[in-house]
Chains A and B, each alone.
Chain A
Amino acid sequence: MEQLKNEENNEFEGALERFRPVLVTIAEAMISPAYRGNIEASDLVQQTLLEAHASAEVLDPLNEGPFFGWLRKALQNNMLDAVKHLNTQKHDISRRLRESELEESFARLEQVLAGDGTSPSQRASRNEQIATMLSSLQELPDKQRMAVIMKHLQGLSLEEVAASLDLSESATAGLLHRGRQNLIHRMGKWDERGRY
């Protein structure tokens, strides 16, 4: 009995840890430059995972769809809380407006991952690939990861990424190139490991 419970715990633990890198990447991509330095993506995810621990009894990690949905919702709430907390500290209109933007973003994210008329199997395989990419991103060196997130997840141009990282455009291009090669390489490894 005791052993069974331990096994269950381990399984739950493992499922949570599998989601951690995906959530961190999402959080990193969503935190706008205005908050950079004020909100730490990994802290938000840590908090979210701790909350998941607390609700371990009601969550079923084997049923990945709803489980991930729950985690995303918890992350959204934590992020909104963080933003609201910042807003009460500084009365800044530009920030207040971003709150609703954040909510909309999460809503759209849900829509994207829930599929858009493609067949369930197509959707599942696409979502798997996306999740693999998001989680592999966390294995990249910081600069490469930031460059790839800005370029591909946030949709900035080379010029803007360079300005944001305070690097020359050619250096940024090199960084992006290495980041992408690295990412594809690691995604291949993920597939071999058979996760997702």
Chain B
Amino acid sequence: MNEADTDTTRHHPPLTDDELAELERAMESGEANRCPEKASIRSQEYSDAYEKIDLLAAPIRSAISSVDLPPLLPDYESLTEIGRGGMGIVYRAFHKKTQRQDALKVIRRDRLAGMSSDTVKLMQLQFQQESKLAGRVAHEHIVPIYQVGEIADQPWFSMQLVEGESLRVLAQGTGIAPERAVKYLEAIARAIDAVHRHGIIHGDIKPHNILVERETDRPMISDFGLADFDARNSSDVSRGIVGTPAYMAPELARAALHGQATDEVAAVRSVATDIYSLGATLWSALTGSTPCSDQRMARQHLIDVAEGNVDFTRDTGGKIPPSLSRIILKCVSAVPSDRYSTAADLAKDLASWLDQPRWHRHFPRLRNLLWMVVAPALFISGVAIWWLMKIDASEPWVWLAIFSGYVPLFGTFFASHRLDPTATRARRELWSIWIGHLVSTFFCLLVIRILCHPDFAKTIEFSYPCWACISSLAFFAKSGNFWSAYRWVGSFWALAAVLLTVTPGASIVYGAFAALTCVVIALSDPSFLNDSLNKGA
């Protein structure tokens, strides 16, 4: 304080405490300078001192901000803080009328501190609008909003208190099992799709915002009201206002980085940016890490994200099955139009991933049996048929040799059979395809036998190409719900059918092809590969 100021103190009567309180409130709301007619030298001096201290304190305040007293709401009592996000604080609170524990969310005052009063107004308005919008979408996987209000310029809303942990806490460290993560994300994607159909963009999907109810294992998405603000404030990353932009789509990061006007940044938010966040969230749930793991350099992360330097193929523990990795990479594609066009499409892909057979779980020994038992057995049966024909063995023996090839196949299904309720569909499909293969082969052979009567050698010669055609059909049928590359196996068998018309010793060639197919499947069907992947983990 310089001497001139001390001088003025003598000439003007000191302000009373009540006047001081009024000035203090005026300074808080940023209105002090708007009514110059009221300003006296004393109050000018007062506001100068206020501003000087506040300006110096602002950076420290935005950095620490560890203290926020719960708001005083008439209907609620005993508020305890349970969480804190970029713009809001969540309290557990007891609602007196309904005698129920609710979650109460209020906007963080310390975050509003350094901003102009217009920005604050805008944010308060948005906070209320968004919470109302979120409240409008009723969905079993969206945390329902009960009440929206405002107290002392501080907007708040109450919602269902989800007793459980966030996905971030659940996945922290090693990540969670792919089946569980996909189950959660599929439900959340459906919820987000419902939100999108109401014309609302969530904008802040991340593992922190997905709560999993402990008793029901039901995932629920929350945090709608503040979504907008996080994106908005990312231009303030250098001021430490926003945390890690790890789940932000690159186009959003670019907008934020270039310091575009707030509504321009908000305009970049779209269905595609939400899809990106869903993909990043799934990746994070599987690996247990954050796309950008170092919390300290938010701005650098924003640059990394904007430039597409986030590597979602990174999978240190080998926890992401390749089929899931493809889904994630489609979500986080740098080009928005390459991503899923709706969250429902993503949900559908995740659901079919869940439905997909995983032999390592349903039939744990199938892979080994396939190449060690079935493949040699098929080849031997081919050789046996060739030999039986050569020595002119009686007809029933040849028929027996032909169908003996099915014995190890079905035997393998039986042997590796394990009771697993989730595998019913896959098992049923597998059985019906191969029993169909057996039945049609039998009748095909029978028909050819009748047509070629009495030449049995010709029957066998004609039957191999037909048999190959039936196998081709079987693999095409499998490509629908199983490994999509089965259609190439099907095509191979179609070509093999043509080849078998001109090859001498068709039964040996057929046996060799069948054995080769078994080995190829055992080595490259991803549902078998998952097996070795999990063992490695």
Contacts and interface: CB of A to CB of B under 8 A. Distances in A.
A164 interface: yes
Interface in B1-47: 1-2, 15-18, 20-21, 23-25, 28, 46
Given A105-B63, A116-B238, A158 B28 contact: yes
Interface string A151-180: 011111111100110000111111011001
B24 A184 contact: no
Interface stretch (A8-16, A63-71, A126-134): A126-134
B46 A185 contact: no
A52 interface: no
Contact of A111 (B16, B28, B240): B240
Contacts of A33: 67, 69
B248 to A, nearest CB: 17
A116 B259 CA distance: 14
A30 B67 CA distance: 7
Contact of A173 (B17, B54, B62, B240): B17
Contacts, number: 143
Given A29-B67, A94-B80, A154-B61, 17 more contacts: A32-B66, A105-B63, A108-B63, A109-B63, A110-B296, A112-B239, A116-B238, A152-B61, A154-B65, A154-B66, A156-B109, A170-B20, A173-B24, A177-B46, A184-B52, A185-B1, A188-B2
Contacts of B298: 111
Contact of A150 (B52, B67, B295): B67
A105 B109 contact: no
Contacts of B295: 103-104, 107
Contact of B82 (A94, A107, A177): A94
A123 to B, nearest CB: 11
Contact of B53 (A110, A152, A170): A152
Contacts of A159: 152
B411 interface: no
A160 B63 CA distance: 20
B178 interface: no
A97 B239 contact: no
A164 B69 contact: yes
B436 interface: no
Given A154-B67, A157-B28, A188-B2, A107 B296 contact: yes
B170 interface: no
Interface string B50-80: 1011101101111111111100100000001
Q: Is the interface of B mostly helix, strand, loop or mixed?
A: helix
Q: Is the interface of A mostly helix, strand, loop or mixed?
A: helix
Interface residues of B, number: 49
A153 B61 contact: yes
A101 B295 CA distance: 12
B390 to A, nearest CB: 77
Interface in A82-138: 93-94, 97-98, 101-105, 107-113, 116-117, 129-130, 133-134
A133 B240 contact: no
B496 to A, nearest CB: 61
A145 to B, nearest CB: 12
A112 B60 contact: yes
Nearest to A132: B56
B1 A154 contact: no
A32 B67 contact: yes
Contacts of B238: 111, 116-117
Contacts of B2: 188
B66 A180 contact: no
Interface in A37-60: none
B213 interface: no
Contacts of A172: 21
